[in-house]
Structure 1
Amino acid sequence: MPELSETAERSQSNTPLAMIMDDSDIDYQRFQELVASTDSLAILCHDNPDPDTLASALALEAIAKEWEVPTVDIVYGGTVTHQQNRAMINVLDIELTPIDQVSLSDYGLVAFVDHGIPGQNNSAVEEMTPDIIIDHHPTDGLQGQFVDLRPAVGATATLLTRYLEIFSIELEERLATALLFALHRETLDFNRETTSTEHAAACVLHPHADHNIIEELTNSVFTPETISGIGDAIANREVRGSCLVSSLGWIRERDAVPQAADYLLQLEGVSTTIVYGIVDDNVHLSGRTSNSQLHIGNVMEETFDQVGSAGGHHDMAGGQVPLGFIGSVDDGDDVAIDLINQSMMARLFGALEGWTET
Structure 2
Amino acid sequence: MPFADILGQEKASSYLKKLAGAQKVPGALLFYGPDGVGKARAAVLFAQALNCLDPQARQTGDACGVCASCQAIAKGTHPDVTFVDFTYQARLEVKKDFSSKGYEDELEKEIAKQQHINVDTIRDVTAKSQQKAVGGGWKVLIIDQAQTMQGAAANALLKFIEEPPYKTVWILITNKRATMLKTILSRCQPLAFAPLSQENVTQILKNTGADVPDPDLCARYSGGSVSGALKAAEALELLQNGQFGTPQGPCSVAAGLSRTLVAARQEAQAVLDVLICALHRRWTQTQDPREQRRLQQVLNQFETYKRSIGRNVSPALVLETALMSLDGLNVQIF
Tell me the TM-score normalised to structure 2 length: 0.37
The structure having more radius of gyration, on CA atoms, is 2
Relative contact order higher in (CA < 8 Å, ≥ 6 apart): 2
- Greater per-residue strand proportion: 1
Structure with the bigger percentage of helix: 2
